[in-house]
Structure formats: C-alpha cells, structure tokens
Amino acid sequence: MTTTAPARLPTGRPPLPPRHWLRTGWVMTASGWSANQFSALLGAYHSGPGLTAATTSALFGVYVLGLIPGLLLGGPLADRRGRRPVVFTALAISALATALLMAGATATGLLWPGRFLTGIGAGALLSAGSAWIKELSSPPYDTVSAPGAAARRSGLFLSAGFATGGLAAALTAQWAPAPLITAYLPHLALSAAAALLAARTPETATPGGQLAATTTAAPVLAPGTAPAPAFRRLVAPVAPWVFVAPSIALATLPGLVDAGLTGWQTVYAGIVTAVTPGTGLLVAPLARRLAARHRIATAVAGLAAVILGLLLAAFAVACIRPDAALLAAAVLGAGYGLCVAYGLTEVAALAPPDRLARLTARFWALCYLGFCTPYAITLLAGWFAPATVLLAAVVPAAATLALIAHRGTRRGTRRPV
C-alpha cells in the first residue's frame, strides 16, 4: 500500500492552507467603514445642510438603534442559517443605507433611515463575520494559526475599516464636487469587493446551528468557570468602553477644538478618525503579550488608556488645543484597541461552537452602547462645561477598572495565547 505525501514548497515545507479568513475579513472592514464614514462628515453637515450639533449627535447615535437589533438578530440567524446568507444580506442592507445617506444630501430626512439601516447592516456583519473569521482561523480550515489569532483578526479588520473609512470620506468631501454624495462612493465599491471575495469562502455552519466541519472540542475554560457568568463578570463591564473611547474622539472632540481651523475642519476630523482606530491597530501586538501574561491584563491596560485619554481630552477642550485633542484621540484609540482585543478573545474562549455568533453579538451590542456617549455629552453640555463632562467620565471608567481588577485577580487564570 502506498501513500502520497502532501506537496511541498521548494524549501521543503508543506504549503500553507488557504487563507479563507483573509477574504472574509473584508466584510468586517466594510462594517467599520460604513460606521465611520458619517463621523468624519459631521462638520460638513453643519456647514452644508446646516444641521445643528444636537441633530448630528442624534444621527451619530441612531446608528446604535439599528445596530443592536442587527446584532441580536444577526447572531442567532447566523448560528441557525449559516454565516454566508447573513453576511450577504447585511452587505446589501449596508449598501442600501449608504445610498440613502447619499440621497440625504438634498433630502435630509433620509439621513435618519440611512443611519438606522447602517446600524442594522453593520450589526449583522459584526456578529456573523466575527464568527465566520473565528471558524476559518481554526482547524480544519486553518491548521497553522495560533490560538487567539481569530479574535485579533476580527478586531484588526474592523479597525482598518474605521480608520480608512472616515479619512477617505473626509478627504473626498474636502476636494470632490458634491461632497456629501461622492464621499460615500468608496463604501459602495468596498462592499461590492467584499461580497466578491466572500463568495469564494466556504460556509462553516449548516442550517440548524451545526458546524460544517468540526475537529475541535468545546472551548477550554478556566476551572469552575461557566460561559454566561464569566461573560457577565469579566466581559460585560468592559464592553461599553470599547466605543465610549472612539466615539468621544470622533464625534465630540473635533467640533470642540477646531475653531481655529477654518476651512480645514473636515480634513482635521478625517485625520482624527484615522488616528483613533489606527492606534487601535498598532496596539494589537501589545494586546497579545498582555493576554499571555494574565487573563485581564489587556482589559486593565485598555481601561487605563481610556482614563488617560479622557483626561487629555478634557485638557484639550478646556484649552481649545487641536494638537492635544489629536493626542487624546490616539490614546483613546489605544484604549479601544486593547478593550476590543480583550473582549473578542474572551468571547472566543467562552462560547461553545454552536453559540459563538450569539455571544459575539451580545458583546458587540454592549460595545455599541458607547456610541450614545456623544449625544449624552451634548445634552449635559447645556448645564456643564464640556471639559467638566469629560472629567466626570473618568469616574465610571476608573470604577470599571477597579471592578475588573478585583474580579480578575480573585478568579483570574493565565491563558496562553
């Protein structure tokens, strides 16, 4: 009896498996892009259609009203029906939402359903796409990646969309004709490209919630740890801060410090939208090293960065310093990157295979509650100085850090990554 050895590269090493996760990752980029392209245009909506600060903050937040049902419905549907149909439906909804935002340049009433549907599409993409990438980064689809790689990949692709979407929209709006229309064209192109790439990716879940191919056991948990209690104790308190940090940097800071940047406010906002999630990308190696040292180390570092970023933001607003605000945005972006890496790593470790998309959806739903922060700051600014409101936000952030440190130290374990 003869056997055929697997083909080898000229170096003598076996060929790398197909990188299906790489093709699927672009749906996460499309999700981040769709969320952030509007953020960079808030100043343009002030100067163009003349929307008030309260209206643009509300439009920024109404995205969450669509995103949460998108997450909570998209996750279970992806577990029951498969990843592919949910992802492609969500991409179509996201493209429709962008078309409505383009029409909103002349009919501002369409901005509301446009932002709501943006949330629906982004939520379903986040829940189904994160689960898809996680499964495609594991055997039998990927036999070479280290444990924990899937969580980092989802966060990196999402952060790439956040970073490039806002900057591209801002630069287009600054120099292209019909800025509030043409600024959205790149997202339509990206959505089409993401759909074409994902079309070549295998389905990892079959109708009924079973994995299409399973070669791994259930996730390894810390001794005495059940998924739901561990999620509530160690993940849920951190999750809202994932987007409290960048939403303040993106939607609040630019309008409070750009008074001396006449004519360049949109470009400045675009730079902020690139720097904030861009820093989140850069801290990914640090997140991995911290996670290898202790289960909650990444969360503690992330929350500490959020606190420092809030202090810098308060200083920048009090002194009207665009440069200090940019530094604050970078630090807040680091906090975002560390907190999201922590949350996705914990979810991937806690969730049974047939409930991965659901637990992922719960995590993202809690994260996106943070997107309501700019609207809350706008309302509170009627009674308090914005810098004071930012300083006050340090108190719950510090309380969350103390809570996680206490719980993690008492029940934490080291988890190799």
C-alpha span between 285 and 283 (Å, rounded): 6
pLDDT at res. 342: 93
C-alpha span between 53 and 59 (Å, rounded): 10
pLDDT at res. 412: 43
| pLDDT above 50: residue 220 | no
C-alpha span between 203 and 132 (Å, rounded): 8
pLDDT at res. 10: 52
C-alpha span between 342 and 289 (Å, rounded): 11
**φ, ψ of residue 210 in degrees (nearest 5):** -95, 145
| pLDDT above 50: residue 230 | yes
Which residues lie closer than 8 Å to 367 by C-beta, 6 or more apart?
A: 239, 240, 242, 243, 340, 343
pLDDT, mean of residues 337-346? 91
pLDDT, mean of residues 209-232? 55
| pLDDT above 80: residue 239 | yes
Say which residue the tokens 């940097």 belong to.
249
Angle at 69 (CA atoms; ends 90, 361), nearest 5 degrees:
80
Alpha carbon 232 to its chain's center: 20
- CB neighbours (10 Å) of residue 218? 10
Q: Are 353 and 45 in contact (CB under 8 A)?
A: no
Angle at 320 (CA atoms; ends 375, 385), nearest 5 degrees:
45
Percent pLDDT > 90 in the chain is: 31
pLDDT at res. 153: 81
pLDDT at res. 15: 53
Instruction: Go through the chain and tell me how many residues it has.
Output: 417
pLDDT at res. 215: 39
pLDDT, mean of residues 22-29? 87
| pLDDT above 80: residue 43 | no
Say which residue the tokens 């029409």 belong to.
103
Dump the DSSP string for 91-129: HHHHHHHHHHHHHTTT-GGGHHHHHHHHHHHHHHHHHHH
pLDDT at res. 400: 96
| pLDDT above 60: residue 23 | yes
Q: Are 404 and 237 in contact (CB under 8 A)?
A: yes
**Comparing 127 with 7, which gets the higher pLDDT?**
127
**Comparing 187 with 39, which gets the higher pLDDT?**
187
272: enclosing H helix or E strand? helix 265-282
pLDDT at res. 221: 47
**Comparing 148 with 309, which gets the higher pLDDT?**
309
**Which residue, 329, 314, 308, 159, is CA-closest to 246?**
329
Average pLDDT over the chain reads 82
State pLDDT tens for residues 44-70.
887 778 788 778 878 877 888 888 888
* Winning range, highest mean pLDDT, from 52-56, 237-241, 278-282, 349-353: 237-241
State pLDDT tens for residues 110-123.
999 999 999 999 88
Say which residue the tokens 């409290």 belong to.
244
State pLDDT tens for residues 375-398.
788 888 889 999 999 999 999 999
pLDDT at res. 265: 79
